[in-house]
Amino acid sequence: MNSEHFRYLAAMGITPWKLNTTHSSSPNEWESLQQAVIHCTACGLDKTRTQTVFGVGNHNAKLMVIGEAPGFYEDQKGEPFVGRAGQLLDAMLATIHLDRSTVYIANILKCRPPNNRDPLPEEVNRCTPFLAKQIAFIQPALLLAVGRIAAHFLLETKTSLGALRNKIHRYGQLNTPLIITYHPAYLLRNPRDKRKAFQDLQLIHRTLIELTT
């Protein structure tokens, strides 16, 4: 996390943290982070959201899935990936014997952009300190970024998603392994690329086995 993100945290009343190499964060810290997200007004999306979408899943997850931003259904329910894209994500996870009870799912943004437009750079900068703390808290063995926005933020690159997928990258101070694949919403529009996504899922499965056995 860079100094700009720490500055945004301070402006939102959140005390910046030091990255630990063990799971030493307390449930109270997690609850405080959730409350900070609920009451956040840093970027203006609070004016159009129904509610924030913090994340869902297992705090001890070996795999953490990171998407772009809530859509219409996520904004209504307060949970990431609950529409048709969410159903496809569930099916994708099932092919490698995972589900929402065994992974953790979050987004780059915690609020829905109006009309599901792409997140603005300022919105990403204001919101990603929350995601960084979620990653630091959970400390997954492997990160999975779905879609261009998530991939570009986590890798700090503008390289095309097609060139980033089917490889193992590294994220953050702990050099957490990171794999990129297509967003489920993209796959619904472009089913021809589901075969490539399945290749990525096979890589995820192999990598998780290597990292956790």
Q: What is the pLDDT of residue 25?
A: 60
CA 110, CA 123: separation in Å to the nearest integer?
10
The pLDDT of residue 80: 98
Question: Which amino acid, residue 17?
Answer: W
* 3-state SS assignment for residue 56: strand
| pLDDT computed for residue 42 by the predictor | 95
Instruction: Report the predicted TM-score, pTM, of the whole model to 2 decimal places.
Output: 0.87
Name the residue with tokens 């300190």: 129
Sheet bearing 104-107, strands edge to edge? 56-57, 104-107, 63-67, 142-146, 176-181, 169-171
Q: Write down the residue that tokens 């995820």 correspond to.
A: 204
Is the CA virtual torsion 71, 77, 79, 81 positive or negative? Answer: negative
CATH code for the domain in which residue 106 is found: 3.40.470.10
Please state, in angstroms and rounded to a whole number, the distance separating the CA atoms of residues 86 and 99.
11
Return phi, psi of residue 211, to 5°: -80, -25
- Can you give the pLDDT of all 213 residues of the chain as single tens digits? 444 544 544 544 444 444 444 455 678 899 999 999 999 999 999 999 999 999 999 999 999 999 999 999 999 999 999 999 999 999 999 999 999 999 999 999 999 999 999 999 999 999 999 999 999 999 999 999 999 999 999 999 999 999 999 999 999 988 999 999 999 999 999 999 999 999 999 999 999 999 998
- Give, in degrees to the nearest 5, the angle at Cα 150 between 145 and 154: 85
158 contacts 193 by C-beta, under 8 angstroms: no
- In this structure, what are the phi and psi dihedrals at residue 181, rounded to the nearest 5 degrees? -145, 180
- Residue 27 is predicted with a pLDDT of 80
Q: Which residue segment(s) compose the domain that 69 sits in?
A: 3-212
Tell me how many domains the chain contains.
1
pLDDT of residue 21: 43
Residue 134: how many CA atoms within 13 Å on its side-chain side? 29
Do you know the residue count of the chain?
Answer: 213
Q: Please report the pLDDT score of residue 8 as a whole number.
A: 46
Collapse the DSSP code of 171 into the 3-class scheme (helix H, G, I; strand E, B; otherwise coil) and give the result: strand
